[in-house]
Amino acid sequence: MSQSEWLDAYVLHRRPYRETSYIVDFFTFQQGKVSAVAKGVRSSKNDRKSLLQPFRKVRVQLSGKTDLKNLRTIEGDGPVPMLSGNSLFCAMYLNEILNRVMPAGLASDTVYLQYQHALNAIDEQPDIEKILREFEFALLEEMGMLADWFSDGISGEPVEESGWYLYSPEQGFVTCHQRDHKYRLPGAALLALGNGEWNEVSRRAAKLINRQALHVLLGGKPLKSRELFRS
């Protein structure tokens, strides 16, 4: 990494480090997720500390040859997001799944731009559920977990509108032969999602698919943000 390279980034999370510092997780456009030590800022009232808040869009310069970098320079790169209520909980959810699912150092233009869109939209657009599902889709596609909407993962046959299917992380969507299976998905919903159509049936299917896929990626460990939202 060039010592003078500027990275476009969002602050995902910060945690205390030693007596005066923070470890900050950034999601950068150029290098994906990067963690860095911000030295001597915990007890200060300078701008550096105020910029190290989750959801802040910043530009940073980092240094160091190990996975844990040092924060050299930081500056704001846009207005402070004013989030509260459901919008705040949703933003916390975005940050948590991004921080837990994306491997360090994996840059993704698609995920970065979809995260940016979601963060800007959750406080402006009424359809928060669609915004969250679309971000989850972008993340799952980057992780190789988003299946082909239009074909059976085992037989290769086209998905039938009147058929029923199950989501398999390894095989994609496969025909379901159990009428009472609680995770079965209507073929009409898969076709709708593949065509970018959001209706009541496709929304339910998207939520079920994404929960199953994210459960695998998260190792079955619960999300703190989801528990906060429920409480």
pLDDT digits (tens, 9 = 90+) for 202-227: 999 999 999 999 999 999 888 887 76
Contact 150, 158 (CB under 8 A): yes
- The pair of three-digit structure tokens given for residue 123, joined into one six-digit string: 């406080």
> Has residue 1 been placed in a domain?
no
Per-residue confidence at 49, pLDDT binned at 50, 70, 90? confident
Give the mean model confidence (pLDDT) for residues 103-114. 96
> Has residue 222 been placed in a domain?
yes
- The pair of three-digit structure tokens given for residue 69, joined into one six-digit string: 């970098």
E-state strands within 18-168? 21-28, 32-38, 57-63, 68-76, 164-168
E-state strands within the chain? 7-17, 21-28, 32-38, 57-63, 68-76, 164-168, 172-175, 185-186
Number of domains in the chain: 2
pTM: 0.91
- Among 58-67, 69-78, 214-223, which stretch is predicted with the lowest mean pLDDT? 214-223
Of 76, 99, 114, which residue sits at a domain end? Answer: 76
Q: Are residues 35 and 115 in the same domain?
A: no
Displacement of CA 9 from its chain's centroid (Å): 14
In the predicted structure, residue 129 carries a pLDDT above the cut 60: yes
> Has residue 191 been placed in a domain?
yes
Contact 101, 139 (CB under 8 A): yes
Of 76, 94, 117, which residue sits at a domain end? Answer: 76
Per-residue model confidence (pLDDT) at position 230? 59
Displacement of CA 80 from its chain's centroid (Å): 20
What range defines the domain where residue 58 resides? 7-76
Q: What is the mean pLDDT of the chain?
A: 92
> Has residue 69 been placed in a domain?
yes
Per-residue confidence at 3, pLDDT binned at 50, 70, 90? low
In the predicted structure, residue 81 carries a pLDDT above the cut 60: yes
Of 53, 76, 99, which residue sits at a domain end? Answer: 76
